[in-house]
Amino acid sequence: MRRAIWATALVVLAAACGGETVPMPPATTSGTSPFKTPSTSPDSPSSGTSVEPVDVPEGTAASYANHVDAAADGVLEIHVVIGDATGDGSPDALTFEDTGGSGACGTWRVLDLMANAGVFERTTCDTVVEPSTDPVGLLVRKAIFQEGDAHCCPSSIRVSLLTLDPAAGWTVSSTHEEPA
């Protein structure tokens, strides 16, 4: 179910950001699906459910929509912000897959919607990532804890600006610490 929600969200987001849609694998009627789906074939394990393998190119938006996101992974909700994080002038989706906890843990991703590619992924706790407009990139705010700090009260916040260089990848353009 979550895979279908991801796929739908990506297509809707792309359409909302300029009318372009993310190319997704076509639906088939031959009993196979471009997405991993439960199977109840006679060859299935005794549980009656298996996952059919799907060949989706790694690093594409479709591969992120198609990844196994089982309930055991603990994703509680997915937050999405649209903005240009890559500097190419086209909309990107900054997503946060919230796994909860007192440190607001989860996985941050940047999906370049026009290129149909995942270009950033970081699993964190006590961190907030947001698009930056000047310069274009990602503003990363990470709580810094000193010995003896309670989890509610970090000593400072490290603010880093990441920019994407097509040749070098993501680089830290600047960083500084602010009092919490």
Is residue 148 packed enough to be buried (19+ CB in 10 Å), middle (13-18) or exposed (0-12)? exposed
Indicate the pTM of the whole model: 0.62
Is it true that the peptide bond before 135 is cis, omega within 30 degrees of 0?
yes
Average pLDDT over residues 145-157: 93
Average pLDDT over residues 165-176: 93
Query: Facing residues of 162 across strands?
Result: 138, 172
Q: How far is CA 14 from CA 10, 90, 96, 166, in A?
A: 6, 10, 17, 22
With contact defined as beta carbons under 8 Å apart, do 131 and 84 qualify? yes
Looking at residue 11, its pLDDT comes to 44
pLDDT tens for 94-116 read 999 999 888 889 999 999 999 99
Burial 45-63 (b: 16+ CB within 10 A, else e): eeeeeeeeebebeeebbbe
Q: How many domains does the chain have?
A: 1
Looking at residue 53, its pLDDT comes to 44
**Which helix or strand (DSSP H or E) is residue 159 part of?**
strand 156-165
Domain that holds residue 17: 2-179
Residue 136 has pLDDT above 70, yes or no: yes
Lowest mean pLDDT among 2-16, 23-37, 70-84: 23-37
pLDDT tens for 116-133 read 999 999 999 999 999 999
Question: Where does 28-91 show beta strands of DSSP type E?
Answer: 38-39, 50-51, 77-83
Burial 81-120 (b: 16+ CB within 10 A, else e): eebbbbeeeebbbbbbbbbeeeeebbbbbbbbbbbbbbbb
Rounded Cα distance, 139 and 175, in Å: 10
pLDDT tens for 52-74 read 444 545 555 444 444 444 455 68
Residue 10: strand, helix, or coil: helix
With contact defined as beta carbons under 8 Å apart, do 106 and 99 qualify? yes
Between 141 and 39, the higher pLDDT residue: 141
